[in-house]
Amino acid sequence: MTTIATPAETIGNVRRWAILAASTLAQASAAIMMHGAAFLIPALHDQDGLSLTRAGVIAAAPTVGVMLALVAWGWVTDHRGERLVLLAGLSGTALVGLAAALTHGLTLLGVLLVLGGAAAASTNAASGRVVVGWFPPQRRGLAMGIRQMAQPVGVGVAAVTIAVVASHAGVHAAMWVPTIGCALALIVVAAVVIDPPRPDRKSAVAPNPYVADGYLARIHGVSVLLVVPQFVVWTFALVWLVQDRHWSPASAGVLVLVAQIFGAIGRIGVGQLSDVVRSRMRPLRWVAWAAAGTMLLLGVTARLGWLVAVPLVVIATVLTVADNGLAFTAVAERAGPFWSGRALGLQNTAQFLASSIVPPLGGLAASHLGYAWTFALAALFPVVAIGLVPVRGERPLSH
């Protein structure tokens, strides 16, 4: 096993936490581009007359771009460093967002969303590597939990802004949100982030971590299964509230934002728990059990029209995002400093492959079966994931 180098004492704690904050901001801004298209669905459906299935295809466009670019960004991160990747990716995302905001046509929007997702993918491997590289093992769970809160926060910001802007000014105007966010993140990253230390490549032995055993492959599989209920909730919670519960887009967006904030806090808590119990995989299994039960309850209560379905969608949002930081940290720790970029790229590629399929297939299921059955069926995926979590193969965390 190749281990992550212990962070050098070349920077103080203030700078280390500032780098964590900057990488978190970068990931949150990129998440608005990667996941914000889901909140265009009400406008695409009501204003542009698209079916839920066709609107879901546009919503999935950024995740297709992310999926295509992640491993390449991971390779660049491993060979050229995290700072360069973050600066290049955020610049590209802001430029693509600007083009999407200033042009017209849904076909062109779909193409630009693919390109925007590909550029935004840079933050996934690079910002994670920055955190793992600068924090020691006994603090990585907490630090990565903070970094992983960026995704739900970004989704929450997208929910409360993109849906409202799209409903009043159109889907193209809504693209100013990720454009501005990534431009601001670019400035902060340029001012704060430096590459973490790593061993000398010429003297270090960096064997392929996928050859030794199937540990990383099993984590990838678990993450793919757990991303299905996550994206079912992310994609259809707002439109379910608007169409089935008759909420306004603004009110539904606020609820989604609140749910994402709780989800971000949950990631921090689960990360800290993994540091305390000195295991990433046991808490991952606990989260999978909780997600399965909550998605099933959400489906049943939504079908019956009970009011409790609304708080349950908040709980489901929290639980279905809680696993990401655990898996992400475990992959980086297992892969080592010279493979973690590619391993994290493969991790996210598998996740985004699944997430790119969820919106159109979920839209098809919601159109024919209803949102309640769509929520309930999503509970099957974490049940399968539970048996795949590699608890026995996990090595103790060093302190």
Among 15, 29, 32, 341, which residue's Cα sits nearest to residue 191? 15
The CA dihedral of 286, 289, 290, 291, to the nearest 10 degrees, is 120
Residue whose pair of structure tokens reads 């103790």 in the numeric block: 396
Which whole number is the average pLDDT over 158-176?
A: 87
Q: How far is it, in rounded angstroms, from Cα 327 to Cα 144? A: 10
Q: Give the burial string for 217-244 (b: 16+ CB within 10 Å, else e).
A: ebbbbbbbbbbbbbbbbbbbbbbbbbbb
Distance of CA 29 to the CA centre of its chain: 11
**How is residue 6 annotated by DSSP?**
P
Q: How far is it, in rounded angstroms, from Cα 208 to Cα 297? A: 42
Give the model's pLDDT for residue 395.
65
Express each pLDDT in 109-147 by its tens digit.
Answer: 989 999 999 999 998 877 777 777 788 777 777 887 788
Give the model's pLDDT for residue 10.
62
Which whole number is the average pLDDT over 63-81?
A: 84
Residue 9 reports pLDDT greater than 60: no
Mean pLDDT, rounded, of the chain: 84
Express each pLDDT in 250-291 by its tens digit.
Answer: 888 888 888 878 887 888 888 888 888 888 889 999 999 999
Q: How far is it, in rounded angstroms, from Cα 302 to Cα 307? A: 8
Domain ranges of the chain: 14-195+211-388
Angle made by CA atoms 234, 177, 30, in degrees to the nearest 5: 60
Topology adopted by domain 14-195+211-388: Growth Hormone; Chain: A; (1.20.1250)
Residue-level length of the chain: 399
Which whole number is the average pLDDT over 372-386?
A: 94
Q: How far is it, in rounded angstroms, from Cα 279 to Cα 65? A: 33
Give the model's pLDDT for residue 288.
93
Which whole number is the average pLDDT over 368-378?
A: 92
User: What percent of the chain has a predicted confidence (pLDDT) above 90?
Assistant: 32
Are 267 and 322 spatial neighbours (Cβ–Cβ below 8 Å)?
yes
Q: How far is it, in rounded angstroms, from Cα 33 to Cα 151? A: 11
Residue whose pair of structure tokens reads 């939504």 in the numeric block: 302
